[in-house]
Amino acid sequence: MSYTNGLDKPSDYFETLTWSGNSTDDRAISGLDFAPNWVWIKCRNNGQNHNIFDTVRGATESLESNNSNAENTDSTSLKSFTSDGYTLGTGSTVNSSSPSTKTYVGWNWKAGTAFTNDASATGIGTIDSTGSVNTTSGFSIVSYTGTAANATVGHGLSSVPKMIIFKNRNGTQNWIVYNENIGNTGFLRLSATNATDTGINMFQNTSPTSSVFSVSTDGAVNGSSNGIIAYCFAEKQGYSKFGSYTGGSDAFVYLGFKPSFIMFKNASAVENWRTVDNKRDIDNPVVAHLYPNLSNAEGSGAAYSDYIDFLSNGFKIRSSSVSFNNSGDNVIYMCFAENPFVSSTGVPATAR
C-alpha cells in the first residue's frame, strides 16, 4: 500500500526538537522544515510546568497542560515564532542553565493558513471562529468566544476531527479532550488523571462533522464571554492516527507508519497521561516518558518498566503498566509519523 496524500515527509508538518538551556536571551531554536504554529515545550530534567504556545493566541501567551490556570503572558518564554523554529527568552521553563543546565523538548506542529468564519454569513456553526488550519495534515487551531449556550463552531478542516483538545483561556477550567474512541457522551481532562467522565454533557452528545464541532454550556468549552482555544485533529493516512486499543498482554497497534510521537491515556482508569517520542529515545525500547498532567521531570529507566517499541508500521507495548496495558481497559492514543509504512513511491519505512 502506498500513500498519495502528500504526506510522504511527515516532518513537513510535525517534528520534535531537543536542546539544553543556556540562559541566553533571544535564543534561536531552529531546525524545523516548517514554520510552527503550535509549540509544546517541557523541561525534561526538572519539575517545571509544561508550556503551550500557538500563533493564533500569539507569542509569549502560555498555557500549561498540567494545571487549570488561565492563560499567562510571559515575556521570558517563547518570544517569537520563526520560519524554522522560535526564539526563546531566559525563563526556567524554556531555556535555563541555572543553577544547573536544564534540558528541554519541544513538540511542534504546522497549521499555517489563517481562516475566519462569520457564522451568520457562512451558515457554518453558530459562533464565529478564527484560527489557523492545514487541511493536508488535518490540524487546525480554533479560537472562539464562549456564549454559555449550546453552540456549534467552525473548525476549518473540511474533514471530521477525531480528537479535539480545549482550554478556556480566561478561566481556571480543566483542559477538556474529545476523542472519537470515547464517544460524544464522554470526555477526558488533559490536566488531570480522571478516567472517562460521562457525568457532564460537554459536547451536546453530538460528534463533530466535517465543518463544525458542538459544545454545551459548560465553562470549560463555552464559558460566557471567555476566550476558548481548541486544537483539532483529523486523521490522515500514513501521518496521524487517533485510536484506541484494549489492554492485555503484549499489545501491538497497527498505525500504517513508523511513529515519531505518541500520547497515551488509559481512559478506563485514574492514570497519568504519557508522552514518548523518537528524539528523546532514538532506539528501542522507548522508555523516556513525560506526563502532560504533571510538572514532573522525565521518567525513564528500568524502574519505570514502561517499555514501548516503535516499529515500522506501528508500536508494541511491552509493559503490564496500568497506564498502557491493563487487561480489558480502553487506552486512547494520539500519534504522528516519522515515516509512512510505504511511501507513494513504494519506499518502505525501516525498523529501528
Are 93 and 51 contacting, i.e. CB atoms less than 8 angstroms apart?
yes
Phi, psi of 302 (to 5 degrees): -60, -30
d(CA 37, CA 81): 8
Q: Quote the cell numbers at residue 162.
A: 477525531
Distances (CA, A) of 195 to 46, 70, 167, 230, 267: 27, 23, 18, 21, 5
Give the residue extent of every domain in the chain. Answer: 10-109, 113-233, 243-340
Q: With a cut of 60, say whether residue 180 has pLDDT above it.
A: yes
Does residue 285 have a cis peptide bond before it, meaning omega lies within 30 degrees of 0?
yes
Strands 72-73 and 139-145: unpaired
Mind listing the pLDDT tens digit for each residue in 206-260?
999 999 999 999 999 999 999 999 999 999 999 999 999 999 866 899 999 999 9
d(CA 186, CA 199): 8
| Mean pLDDT, residues 127-151 taken together | 98
Q: With a cut of 70, say whether residue 285 has pLDDT above it.
A: yes
Contact residues for 146 (Cβ-Cβ < 8 A; gap 6+) = 127, 168, 215, 219, 221, 222, 223, 224, 225, 226, 227, 228
| Mean pLDDT, residues 59-76 taken together | 97
CATH code assigned to 113-233: 2.60.40
Percent share of the chain, pLDDT over 70: 93
d(CA 118, CA 342): 41
Give kind and range of the element (H or E) at residue 220. Answer: helix 219-222
Distances (CA, A) of 167 to 41, 99, 164, 178, 305: 17, 33, 10, 12, 32
Q: With a cut of 70, say whether residue 337 has pLDDT above it.
A: yes
CA 54 to chain centroid: 12
Q: With a cut of 60, say whether residue 303 has pLDDT above it.
A: no
Q: Quote the cell numbers at residue 263.
A: 500520547
Number of other residues whose CB lies within 10 A of the CB of residue 99? 6
Concatenate the DSSP letters of all residues of 40-98 into one string.
EEEESSS----EEEETTT-TTEEB-TTS-PPPEE-TTSEEEEETTEEEE-S-TTTS--S
Residue 304, pLDDT score? 54
| Mean pLDDT, residues 187-202 taken together | 97
Distances (CA, A) of 266 to 135, 159, 269, 305: 29, 26, 6, 16
Residue 99, pLDDT score? 87
Q: In 3-state terms, what secondary structure has residue 12?
A: helix
Q: Quote the cell numbers at residue 85.
A: 523554529
Phi, psi of 12 (to 5 degrees): -80, -10
Type of residue found at 216 = S
Model confidence band, residue 348 (pLDDT cutoffs 50, 70, 90): low
| Mean pLDDT, residues 83-96 taken together | 98
Cross-strand bridge partners of residue 259: 337
| Mean pLDDT, residues 31-59 taken together | 98
Residue 139, pLDDT score? 98
Percent share of the chain, pLDDT over 90: 86
